[in-house]
């Protein structure tokens, strides 16, 4: 199936996102001028992680709310952020159970699913590791 170069209506994108489909979000040309592969964390699979790594070729991140970062006891990666866009990365994480090296697509998918479980706590993850999060952002690339 050929890829479409058309821009979709936001309602259609949201419906796909809520249904567990991966979507591409494009930011402003005056910011990074790039597209981010995005999928709702509760739906992510090893196949999705593999697709992002093979075709997105960038850093795979998990966007978490500030409340969730606090629930997981995640601290910011640095105290003084002087990066170009001030992205609030936290320390990297990994699921405490059910992973091997942490870097495989299956391990990263499990870590993401563990971090977004409703009753997840700091005991469910270990740091530092192979999965990166951004704190308080709606989406991460």
pLDDT at 95 over 80: yes
Band of residue 5 on the pLDDT scale cut at 50, 70, 90? low
Q: How high is the pLDDT of residue 31?
A: 78
**Does an H or E element contain 37, and which?**
strand 35-38
CATH of 10-135, one of 3.60.150.10, 3.40.50.1980, 3.40.50.300, 3.90.870.10: 3.90.870.10
Domain regions of the chain by residue span:
10-135
Three-state DSSP at 130 gives strand
Q: Which residues pair with 59 in a beta bridge?
A: none
Q: How far apart are CA 133 and CA 137, in angstroms?
A: 9
| Backbone φ, ψ for residue 2 (5° rounding) | -70, 145
Q: What pTM was computed for the model?
A: 0.85
Give the residue among 5, 42, 50 at the shortest CA–CA distance from 21.
42
Cα atoms in the 13 Å half-sphere on the side-chain side of 107 = 17
Confidence class for position 4, pLDDT limits 50, 70, 90: low
The H or E element spanning position 35 is strand 35-38
Min mean pLDDT across 17-26, 40-49, 109-118, 130-139 is at 130-139
């Amino acid at each position: 199936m050929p890829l479409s170069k058309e821009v979709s209506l936001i309602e259609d994108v949201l419906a796909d996102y809520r249904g567990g489909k991966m979507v591409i979000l494009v930011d402003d040309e005056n910011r990074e001028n790039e597209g981010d592969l995005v999928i709702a964390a509760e739906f992510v699979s090893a196949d999705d992680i593999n697709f992002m790594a093979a075709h997105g070729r960038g850093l795979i991140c998990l966007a978490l709310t500030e409340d969730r970062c606090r629930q997981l006891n995640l601290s910011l990666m640095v105290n003084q952020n002087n990066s170009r866009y001030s992205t609030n990365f936290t320390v990297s994480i990994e699921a405490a159970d059910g992973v091997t090296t942490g870097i495989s697509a299956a391990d990263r998918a499990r870590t993401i699913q563990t971090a977004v479980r409703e009753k997840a706590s700091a005991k469910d993850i270990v740091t530092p590791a192979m999965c990166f999060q951004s704190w308080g952002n709606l989406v991460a690339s």
